[in-house]
Structure 1
């Protein structure tokens, strides 16, 4: 298994953060979005929050890259992304058009 880690910020607004979290509760993410994520080869995905910073952990089969970004998004995915965009803000170092920024591992106890 391969894990990929990404970071993104939410607008620093308690009400917006609470609403974003409600959208991510079980049964709230649109089924088409869940199907799209799974179809892209993602085996597991988790999002963690501290303050307004999000970290997303994506687990893929060994040797498999994330293909979701390369695929042309459908109308439902575009609608979901527009909805989530109301709550999100880009990291200052994100590339143009980039939402979730890949994180680089800098330490592993297994390698120490």
Structure 2
């Protein structure tokens, strides 16, 4: 299976308690099964999120069925995903150059070894 990589960035509110709570929500034992299933259903075969300060960095490995547009449509039609996204907005804030309502911003690869 051939995969493609997407990388995104998002900010958290710069509050240490909120950041710790956000990390707790993302522990494997706290993951909502409906959310992990929606991720897999969209063609995402691996997803990792890293944190430095209050900046998040997400790496997604996807299969040929994935497209950002398809994932956005699937998410908009899934009430549980919408519930999760609304909860996450309690912790997240838009990166300064994001458009209104935009959270995760696609990153441009500028180097590859």
- Indicate whether 1:90 and 2:94 are aligned: yes
Aligned CA RMSD, in angstroms, stands at 1.3
Aligned mate of 2:72, from 35, 52, 69: 69
What are the ranges of 5 or more consecutive residues in structure 2 without an aligned counterpart? none
Q: Is 1:15 the counterpart of 2:38 in the alignment?
A: no
Name the residue aligned to 1:46: 48
Structure 2 CA distance for aligned equivalents of residues 64 and 74 of structure 1: 17
Q: Which has the higher helix share?
A: 2
TM-score (norm 2): 0.90
The separation in 2 between residues aligned to 1:64 and 1:78, in whole angstroms, is 19
Cα distance in structure 2, aligned partners of 1:48 and 1:3? 15
| Structure 1 segments of 4+ aligned residues over 2 angstroms from their partners | 62-67, 70-73
CA contact 1:2–1:63 (8 Å) conserved in 2: no
